[in-house]
Amino acid sequence: MVMILALLATAVATAMRAQGPVAQPTGPEQTVEVTAERFAFQPSEITVPVGTTLKVVLKSDDTTHGFRIKGEGVNVQIPKRGRGTITATFTPAKAGKYTFECSRICGAGHGFMRGTIVVVERGSEAK
Ligand code: CUA
């Protein structure tokens, strides 16, 4: 089941990449490992330069969670603890702040599970 969902998520992501007015994935890649646990993401803030292909490798320390970047068509299900990881890929074309949140009901604090991807102009990330 998880496998099928993962495949589905990959297929959807691929389809969206094919259609959308998305930046070409010619920039550098950055991989960030994020752990989801009731009721927070760790880390909850990720900073990348614009145009970077951000790969968020997600795992859970307890139950199944979700990871959605609001308004960006990124939404994956994070398998429960011990069931491996899932990677969400996001290539921001514009600088700004992008909110991510848990997209699967996981308990009383579900609504508090959120974080921010801060996309900065290239060259300013050291500031
Ligand atoms: Cu974690 Cu909802």
Q: How many Cβ atoms are within 10 Å of 109's Cβ, its own excluded?
A: 11
Is any atom of ligand 1 closer than 6 Å to the C-beta of 106?
Answer: yes
Question: How much is the pLDDT for 122?
Answer: 86
What are the pLDDT digits (tens) for 113-127?
Answer: 999 999 999 877 655
Distance 123 CA to ligand 1 centre (A): 34
CA–CA–CA angle 114, 125, 29 (5° rounding): 75
Is any atom of ligand 1 closer than 6 Å to the C-beta of 78?
Answer: no
Is any atom of ligand 1 closer than 6 Å to the C-beta of 102?
Answer: yes
Is any atom of ligand 1 closer than 6 Å to the C-beta of 111?
Answer: no
Full-model pTM: 0.77
What are the pLDDT digits (tens) for 3-56?
Answer: 544 544 545 454 445 544 554 446 799 999 999 999 999 999 999 999 999 999
Distance 124 CA to ligand 1 centre (A): 32
Q: List CB contacts of 56: < 8 A, sequence separation 6 or more.
A: 31, 32, 34, 46, 67, 87, 88, 89, 90
Tell me the average pLDDT across 51-74.
97
